[in-house]
Amino acid sequence: MSLRRDIHSAFETITPPLAGMPERVVQAVLAENKGRRRKETIVFGLRVPLAIAATFLLVALVAAALVTWNAVHNNTVPAGHVLTGLQQLEARPLNLPTLKQTDVCPNNPGVNSLHYDYGSGPVYVDGGSETSTQWGNYWDVVYFTAPSLTGPVLIRGRDLMSTDRKVVFVGAHAGGPSIGSDPVPGTGVQHTELVLDASHPEYKTNGGTYGTWHVRQGMSRGWNGCFGFQFDGPTFSETITGFSAP
Mean pLDDT throughout 151-174? Answer: 96
Average pLDDT over residues 108-122: 96
The predicted pLDDT at position 119 comes to 98
Say yes or no to pLDDT of 212 above 60.
Answer: yes
* Share of residues in the chain with pLDDT > 70 (%): 66
Tell me, letter by letter, the H, E, C secondary structure of the chain.
Answer: CCHHHHHHHHHHHHCCCCCCHHHHHHHHHHHHHHHHHHHHHHHHCCCCCHHHHHHHHHHHHHHHHHHHHHHHHCCCCCCCHHHHHHHHHHCCCCCCCCCCCCCCCCCECCCCCCCCCECCCCEEEECCCEEECCCEEEEEEEEEECCCCCCEEEEEEEECCCCCCECEEECCCEEEEEEEEECCCCCEEEEEEEEEECCCCCEEECCCCEEEEEEEEEEECCCCCEEEEEEEECCEEEEEEEECCC
* Percent residues over pLDDT 90 in the chain: 60
Domain boundaries, the chain: 3-73, 81-243
Over residues 68-113, the pLDDT tens digits come to 444 433 433 344 445 579 999 999 999 999 999 999 999 999 999 9
Q: Which position has the higher pLDDT, 93 or 58?
A: 93
- pLDDT of the residue at 246: 79
Mean pLDDT confidence for 18-41? 50
pLDDT of residue 98: 94
